[in-house]
Structure 1
Amino acid sequence: MTGPNPEPQDRNGQVRIEMLGTPRITGGTHAHTLRTTDLAALIRLRPGRTTEYLCRAMDPVNPWSTRSLHPRLSELRNEIGLTDDETPLLPRPKNGSGYVFHPAVASDWHQFQQPAATGLAGSPAQGTADLESTMALVCGRPFDGRTLPWADPVIQEMLSRITDTTHTLARRHSDGDTPDLDAARRTVLQALDIEETSEVLHRDLLHIERAAGNPAAVRRTVSRLQQMARTYDITLDTLTENTIKLVLSDHPSPITAS
């Protein structure tokens, strides 16, 4: 498949493959089909894979043929274009090597990972801004709306890191002499929309609402948590059950409980 000559990319409009929400490609020259976007995500997350691997991964039940794959690759090359020095952003493999994007091609997941690691390891004073910046990249459930067997392991990793980041942010916003419970609540609610089965985030929200003096919100959160457990046939952790008893009692609520 041939197409118009791709235009060099302006670095202010860097090509980026987004996966922390509905998959899409930003900064390219054309609109992108779902299949082309899925293929781009696969190559970005599994660099160096062969033609045979890509064909199997894109449809494990009915693997693509090379006749199906190559037009998609050509379409992707045309859509994302070239670097400023006219180097293809998706070079053709040489000497048996696999498919790898040019380093100029970014992804929101890779942009999330390093600041998240730095923020989680840093002190509240130094690391909170990094965690806030990583959560700003999250637009929804990873690969929202797409069923991609090859992506299942990385989706679970993404959800785990989002949960860890949110939990740490909630604690940091809730700690200290001047806690910002509104910021803590916003962070937790954003993550619960993405990972509604996370008990640690439900516990965070219960402690936040208890500390804020919102008994009605506490009861709503307990009901939401119990409904989630029924929907997914989950037996709640002992810690979660104890947290429910605590926030519904008259005892003080430790905001930073695990």
Structure 2
Amino acid sequence: MPGIQPRPVDQDALQGADAPYPALVSLGWDGSGRLVLVGLEHVGVLHLDGDPDHARHVLQAIAVELASTPLPGHLEITALADTAAGLDHAAPERVARTNTLADAVAELSSHTAEQRRTLTALGATTLRAARLQEDAVDSWTPHILLAGELPDGEQTKTLLDLFGALPRVASAIVTASEHADLTLEEGWTLHCAGSDETIVLPDCGLPIKLQGLTDPHFADAIELLTLPAADTDVPARNDWLDSLLEQEEETEAAAEDEPEQDQASPGGANSPIPHTVVDGDGEAPKPAGGEDEDGMPAEYADIERQELKYPYTDYTVRPRETETTPTPSTSSPSQPPLTPMPAPSEAATEPSTPAAQHETEPQPAAASATHTPVDLPKVPAQLPPDLVHKRAEGDEAEAAPGVLLLGPVTIRQAAGRIDSNRLSAAVELTSYLALHPGLDHPHAIDDALWPGRLVNKTMRNSVISRTRSWLGKNAGGDAYFPRVQDTGDNRYRLSPAVTCDWHQFQTFARTGLARYDEDGDLALRRALALVRGRPFAALDPQRYTWAEPAVQEMVSAIADVAFELSTRRREAADHPGALWAAHQGLLAAEENEMLHRQVFLAHHAAGGVDALRAAAERLAKINEGSAGEWTWRPRPHNC
């Protein structure tokens, strides 16, 4: 209406708004040169027929855009067989590859069933209506299948039936198949006749020219997407300098073979007149004398040739090779400064690997053995095989993820994919949910992961969606981080199949502290075997502020269990066992003097005077390092 001015758009409100068309992709340009975008969720099945090469080029352009566009937030893309080769390595967070259509159908079937259950729970009849609701806003991640070819058969029919049923969900297929029967009441078929040909889009009747990526351009796009994530340095290549260096080497070799002939030639190196040297193969002439073939002065070319002989210096820090026999002087500054217990004679000849650090029971050293103070390894003693916490027998691919908090935070056996720059938020969210199951509102996640910040739902939903995709699903298609509609009480929680070492520690500790027999000691040792260091170690101090109360509880519980087991084993004259228990506790609470006292008592009972003195020196160093400015100094009149 006249006189009405449009209000300026609130940028903050736009930042918090969800993408209305997450699977939006460009197809080409209209007659006015404007880019034409299409929502693949609305289309469902996009079939590219006509010229096979041009159809493949159009599919490659769509694939690269879906894998790289930042507009939708989070997408799940499955590439079938050799479709868009290399895209899964270039964009591993979004793109996965499957070699069989059956696997792709199973994945899409699970995705479709989950979203239709959520639609039913919300009472929404369409996907667009569901996206307008505040509930389950993180549940509508699009899943797109890229298929260069779809074979004829039941699997293809089942796949197409998923898109023929209602209500429609956030999924689509883009295919350039020539053989499968893709005649549908729903979906689009675009005839690819060439990059200069104009086609008419179904439904809207808009004439456009399709865009595509030829095979060389697609390879360039894959390289461009891959390079930012590469963790290795590659020396710069210059074909001109490479050929220049080869020519110099050939010239030097020829000069060595016929030095007199070169000196006597009128166009030799001693000739003051610039000249052109033609090689015997009839190739293009190369200038000689004061300039190179590109007109560069010889002295500059010599400098670049010298650099080319040493084009790359590797500054990567690599671990030193493991020595076969550890010496008393060998130390690792990253390990706790403790004195280990006497080790078996076999362990002195071959250091144990991290995968086999709990394989043998520590045996007391001979009475004549010398206790030499060395740095404590990450696990100072080894346990019998039956005391090691191992995963149940079976296919490792079917194992559920595990949340490891008793040391550096690690998520084990996550079956999905995620970009490295998104991993820290996913790990923190998974750790938070492991300790705080049953959250009834997403704002609790905001307060934990982004304290003091105003977080829009787009950011939160993207983190939740990526974490769900990263943790993966079990063999039955159930997500290890289920949607709130699938939890039974509409609360955020991990699947019961996801394990947590802190919960396992609590279970073993309760059993062990309640029993004073071999089974009780066994349970305590299983609990301590889970400790890898201080809980939540090596973290960014600006993150995990919510974990501080849990860290204090974990450290206290580990120290109590270590003190109890060390006391029991010392009273049973098992001095190596007593030392192992105390050392495991000190991994989490290095400053705990009660555990250091347990080390002293065990060394004294074993008659290890030298080891006792070394342990006392270590405690003194720890106290000096931790006390700092709080160190007590006597006043002059007290001296």
- Of stretches 68-77 and 57-66 in structure 1, the one that deviates more from structure 2 is 57-66
Task: Note the C-alpha offset of 1:124.
Answer: 3.1
Q: How many residues align?
A: 234
- Of stretches 159-168 and 54-63 in structure 1, the one that deviates more from structure 2 is 54-63
Task: Note the C-alpha offset of 1:206.
Answer: 0.9
Alpha-carbon distance in 2 for matches of 1:201, 1:123? 20
Task: Note the C-alpha offset of 1:31.
Answer: 5.4
Higher RCO (CA-CA < 8 Å; seq separation 6+): 1
Unaligned runs of 5+ in 1: 237-258
Alpha-carbon distance in 1 for matches of 2:514, 2:608? 32
8 A contact 2:400–2:474 mirrored in 1: no
Task: Note the C-alpha offset of 1:57.
Answer: 0.8
Q: Does residue 1:195 correspond to 2:195, yes or no?
A: no
Secondary structure at the aligned position of 2:536 is classed as: coil
Task: Name the CA shift for 1:12/1:211 in 2 (closer, same or farther; >3 Å).
Answer: farther
- Of stretches 156-165 and 60-69 in structure 1, the one that deviates more from structure 2 is 60-69
Q: For residues 74-93 of structure 1, what are the structure 2 equivalents within 5 Å?
A: 74-93=465-484
Task: Name the CA shift for 1:14/1:194 in 2 (closer, same or farther; >3 Å).
Answer: same
- Percent identical pairs in the alignment equals 28
Task: Name the CA shift for 1:31/1:92 in 2 (closer, same or farther; >3 Å).
Answer: closer
Alpha-carbon distance in 1 for matches of 2:471, 2:595? 38
Query: Which residue of the other structure, out of 75, 88, 95, is the alignment partner of 1:2?
Result: 75
8 A contact 1:89–1:101 mirrored in 2: yes
Task: Note the C-alpha offset of 1:194.
Answer: 2.4
Q: Which has more strand, going by share of residues?
A: 2
Alpha-carbon distance in 2 for matches of 1:128, 1:105? 27
Task: Name the CA shift for 1:123/1:63 in 2 (closer, same or farther; >3 Å).
Answer: farther
8 A contact 2:511–2:520 mirrored in 1: yes
Query: Which residue of the other structure, out of 604, 607, 618, is the alignment partner of 1:210?
Result: 604
Secondary structure at the aligned position of 1:232 is classed as: helix
8 A contact 2:416–2:472 mirrored in 1: no
Task: Note the C-alpha offset of 1:40.
Answer: 0.3
8 A contact 1:17–1:25 mirrored in 2: yes
1:54-88, Cα deviation, whole Å (9 max, x unpaired): 11111214354322121111111111122333222
Q: Which has more helix, going by share of residues?
A: 1
Task: Name the CA shift for 1:131/1:11 in 2 (closer, same or farther; >3 Å).
Answer: farther
Q: Does residue 1:164 correspond to 2:560, yes or no?
A: yes
Unaligned runs of 5+ in 2: 1-73, 79-95, 97-106, 111-394, 632-639
Query: Which residue of the other structure, out of 557, 572, 576, is the alignment partner of 1:182?
Result: 576
8 A contact 2:532–2:587 mirrored in 1: no
1:250 corresponds to which residue? none
Alpha-carbon distance in 2 for matches of 1:220, 1:119? 31
Task: Name the CA shift for 1:96/1:70 in 2 (closer, same or farther; >3 Å).
Answer: farther
2:427 corresponds to which residue? 37
Task: Note the C-alpha offset of 1:227.
Answer: 2.8
Query: Residue 40 of structure 1 aligns to which amino acid in structure 2?
Result: T
Q: For residues 55-204 of structure 1, what are the structure 2 equivalents within 5 Å?
A: 55-94=446-485, 97-146=490-539, 147=541, 148-176=544-572, 179-204=573-598
Query: Residue 400 of structure 2 aligns to which amino acid in structure 1?
Result: Q
1:247 corresponds to which residue? none
Alpha-carbon distance in 2 for matches of 1:69, 1:41? 16
Alpha-carbon distance in 2 for matches of 1:217, 1:46? 43
Task: Note the C-alpha offset of 1:228.
Answer: 2.5
Q: Does residue 1:13 correspond to 2:405, yes or no?
A: no
